Amino acid sequence: MSIYDFSVKAMDGSEVSLADYKGKVLLIVNTATGCGFTPQYDELQDLYDAHAKDGLEILDFPCNQFANQAPGGDDEIHEFCTGRYGITFPQFSKIDVLGENADPLFKYLSENTKFEGFGKSPMTLILSAAAKKMDKDYKNNGNIKWNFTKFLISRDGEILARFEPTESMKNVAQKVESAL
């Protein structure tokens, strides 16, 4: 199985095959509009502006599973993101990334990556406590822990890296540039 075996739901309800992105470097992100990490949209858009011409696609999947931080419908979320952050990269229909209703793409990404911790950011203690409350064994599984978890996918569909929301966007950009 590869990333290209999955289809995802566009905001208009149509199915989009990830095979349409073959040959591109992908950064797949679960997002939220009311999260402390929401300002990362600015940095994601900057990254997209700098490298879309080189073959980068950022695929944005809003998710409301973490503290109800993406409560709106698809249109409302899209209006917020384009109006406040000017995003131009593809944004898909809101999904679940955990549990029995988790989107198959995110099940695959979670099952094929490891959680390496939240690092040493100021948010580490807060996120660790929240993750432990939702999953006592959170340190030992690949489940997504919070909004703005990112997955870097190579041009041939391999998972290259997983970035927790606390990861410096500068580090994310460096890995993306290496993949390009």
Place of tokens 């590869």: 2
89-129: per-residue pLDDT in tens? Answer: 999 999 999 999 999 999 999 999 998 888 887 778 777 87
Q: Which amino acid is at 25?
A: V
CATH architecture of the domain with residue range 25-179: 3-Layer(aba) Sandwich (3.40)
Annotated catalytic sites, by residue? 35
12-58 pLDDT per residue, tens:
999 999 999 999 999 999 999 988 889 999 999 999 999 999 999 99
User: Where exactly are the structural domains of the chain?
Assistant: 25-179
**Are the beta carbons of 27 and 151 closer than 8 angstroms?**
yes
Ramachandran bin of 62, using left for φ above 0, alpha for ψ from -120 to 50, beta for the remaining angles: beta
Amino acid at 68: N
Q: Alpha-carbon distance 91 to 80, whole Å?
A: 12
Q: What is the pLDDT of residues 123-176, one digit of tens each?
A: 787 778 788 888 888 888 889 999 999 999 999 999 999 999 999 999 999 999
Distance CA 175, CA 2 (A): 21
Report which residue type is found at 81: C
